[in-house]
Structure 1
């Protein structure tokens, strides 16, 4: 089966959606499918990647808003005999996939990865929709596609609360356990010239306000002021980097908080294998893949159990969970881990076994493959219109693509 995944984000950008697309592509190909990526972002030299134009915004400089040319995408789909589309955002690329579905009869699957109502702050104020409008749009979009996939039961329930009546398939993004269990550890103490007795906590993810990294700084500050050799390594990049760096400087934590930057998955796996624990305080995760990756690598996890993280982890199975961000809880659990190496070893194997049994990507890729097989592109098709705004959107993106200003390059 030839499948095209239409997404607004892909590697080398590192986030939950790009990771999900990458993993499903990799393991669907192992099942015999040919998977193409259509996106404004992608690796060079990939013969199955089709790049569309896009531009960056001031609110999220590390992301691109796609300006797809539907005609060129259609030519690409026809040239590669693609029958199934799988969109990963209801925005620009998802809209294009829906247009192709309605106009040309392509089978259209959609994974609703992101709780959009929690990300309104990335929109310019004068263009920022209300929560109700986002909910209504999400309900409309998901009701129009052929099949809706939610990565968690919580996301399925969220969509149902919007009034969506269409059946929703729950298929999480699994974890490539082999990558994280076999990665070569590196000596982080030597790399960053830290004392031998250092205790290293790791965070990995987009450096964004909603990740609640400031809370982790409060935890670090409490431990450091008490004289503990605590170090926090932050892996990732994002729109909050400069502001967060300034907060670290003002709190005088620069010696103990390390910005490791963005890195490839293989290097991140080595970091997981080399730290002492993983700390995560985000309250807006769809699934929280990084906490499962950390467990797969054998890293004890301390996290806030809300939304996706709550559905992904099981308290006591390689992790400590709290319902709300609680500095005292994080400090207490970190001290327990600092003082008890045997417990860290026990939690290491608990977490690895938990992920291996419940979250292996091979299982979920097979579920998606089976789901694809239940739909076929019709040989003949009568075009359907979405509504007039869709035609306006295609016209507008066409005009924007022709603007030669550097912002769109």
Structure 2
């Protein structure tokens, strides 16, 4: 098949959505399918550079987002899609309901191809990035996303919890298929567990709490910092490692020089995706405070590396992490998160058992498995649209 992906972001921008598109595109091309990615251009990136996934990438003109220049806003000019007009498209798959989503809808009509939409993000939770107050933007976002869901042949949700949330958020009766976002997990299973402590000069026997992710308001970073403060206050031998970039990076750097963080909070900053396994393999557990995850890709990666997960009981995380099995789920507050982490760090036997179960659970999200499920959905949609029905459950 020839499959067109439409996204409001792509490489070199780093995010969970971009990672999902890259890995799925690569898995599809390995299986013999042609993938075309329509995404914004970035000034620091050579648009003619071959894509490592094997996909053909068509770049749209773009402008920097106000206040977030690293994020580009694609200009939805239909004339930029002329190279696609002479091609056969079997499936059009939107990864955004906004600018490129409109282009995807137009292109699907032109080619009489089925149109899917993967609901990667709880978009209204990002309203604080807009130019208008969040209270004014949220209803508009909900209406826009709801209208897009009703316009597609099928919505793909990464977890059952998110699938169940869609009708409540948007009043949508669209068909929903639950297919987790797939990940390439071999690197996380095989990474060197000694590298992290050597690289950051952390004692070999010190407990290490790791956080990897975007350091932004929607990820509940202030709660994360408070939880880390509690952990380091209570356990003098513990260290914390934070990997990622974002608006709170400078604040974390400043905090790292103050008690109780001084010498024990290691703020790494952003790293390329291929470097993440090295950080995960050497930690003791993974900690997140985010309540806006639709699936929690980084939690799956951490589990593949053998890390128990401590996280809020919110969003799609409970569909990935079973409480008391692969880690602990708590209320989304600093003290419960810190207590759960300290409980694990003080109990080596439970930590090992949870690490073993975490590796087993992560295998359900291997990209080869999830991509084959996606292909089966493509084939079904090519024979005719799905009728609105109860959500099909995934793992």
TM-score, normalization: structure 2? 0.87
Which residue does 1:221 correspond to in 2?
A: 229
Deviation at 1:299, TM superposition (A): 0.9
Which residue does 2:365 correspond to in 1?
A: 359
Q: Is the aligned partner of 1:22 residue 2:27? A: no
Q: Is the aligned partner of 1:369 residue 2:340? A: no
Q: Does the aligned pair in 2 maintain the 1:296–1:351 contact within 8 Å?
A: yes
In 2, Cα distance between the equivalents of 1:190 and 1:306? 35
Which residue does 1:160 correspond to in 2?
A: 167
Q: Is the aligned partner of 1:342 residue 2:349? A: yes
Deviation at 1:67, TM superposition (A): 1.2
Deviation at 1:53, TM superposition (A): 1.8
Cα distance, 1:184–1:76 mapped onto 2, change above 3 Å: farther
Report the number of matched residues: 375
Which residue does 2:276 correspond to in 1?
A: 268
Which residue does 2:390 correspond to in 1?
A: none
| Equivalent residues in 2 for 1:6-21, closer than 5 Å | 6-21=6-21
Candidates 219, 242, 245, aligned match of 1:234: 242
Deviation at 1:280, TM superposition (A): 0.8
CA deviations on 1:174-215 (whole Å, 9 max, x unpaired) are 332323212333422221223344221111111111111222
Q: Does the aligned pair in 2 maintain the 1:109–1:148 contact within 8 Å?
A: yes
Which residue does 1:333 correspond to in 2?
A: 340
Q: Does the aligned pair in 2 maintain the 1:111–1:150 contact within 8 Å?
A: yes
In 2, Cα distance between the equivalents of 1:99 and 1:250? 54
Deviation at 1:139, TM superposition (A): 1.5
SS at match of 2:70: coil
In 2, Cα distance between the equivalents of 1:226 and 1:166? 49
TM-score, normalization: structure 1? 0.84
CA deviations on 1:96-155 (whole Å, 9 max, x unpaired) are 112223455343211111111111101012697443322222111111122221112222
Q: Does the aligned pair in 1 maintain the 2:249–2:269 contact within 8 Å?
A: no
In 2, Cα distance between the equivalents of 1:215 and 1:312? 21
Which residue does 2:310 correspond to in 1?
A: 302
Q: Is the aligned partner of 1:55 residue 2:63? A: yes
Which residue does 2:50 correspond to in 1?
A: 45
- Computing the radius of gyration from Cα coordinates, the structure with the larger value is 1
Which residue does 1:382 correspond to in 2?
A: none
Q: Is the aligned partner of 1:81 residue 2:119? A: no
Q: Which of 1 and 2 has higher RCO (CA within 8 Å, sep 6+)? A: 1
Q: Which runs of 5+ in 2 are unaligned?
A: 385-395
SS at match of 1:259: strand
In 1, Cα distance between the equivalents of 2:359 and 2:262? 32
SS at match of 2:155: strand
Candidates 99, 103, 114, aligned match of 2:106: 99
Q: Is the aligned partner of 1:169 residue 2:174? A: no
Cα distance, 1:221–1:326 mapped onto 2, change above 3 Å: closer
Which residue does 1:202 correspond to in 2?
A: 210
Q: Is the aligned partner of 1:133 residue 2:140? A: yes
C-alpha RMSD of matched pairs (Å): 2.5
Deviation at 1:218, TM superposition (A): 1.4
SS at match of 1:118: helix
In 1, Cα distance between the equivalents of 2:50 and 2:100? 22
Which residue does 2:119 correspond to in 1?
A: 112
Deviation at 1:352, TM superposition (A): 0.4
Candidates 73, 92, 96, aligned match of 1:65: 73
CA deviations on 1:227-269 (whole Å, 9 max, x unpaired) are 6122221111123323444455566635322221222322101
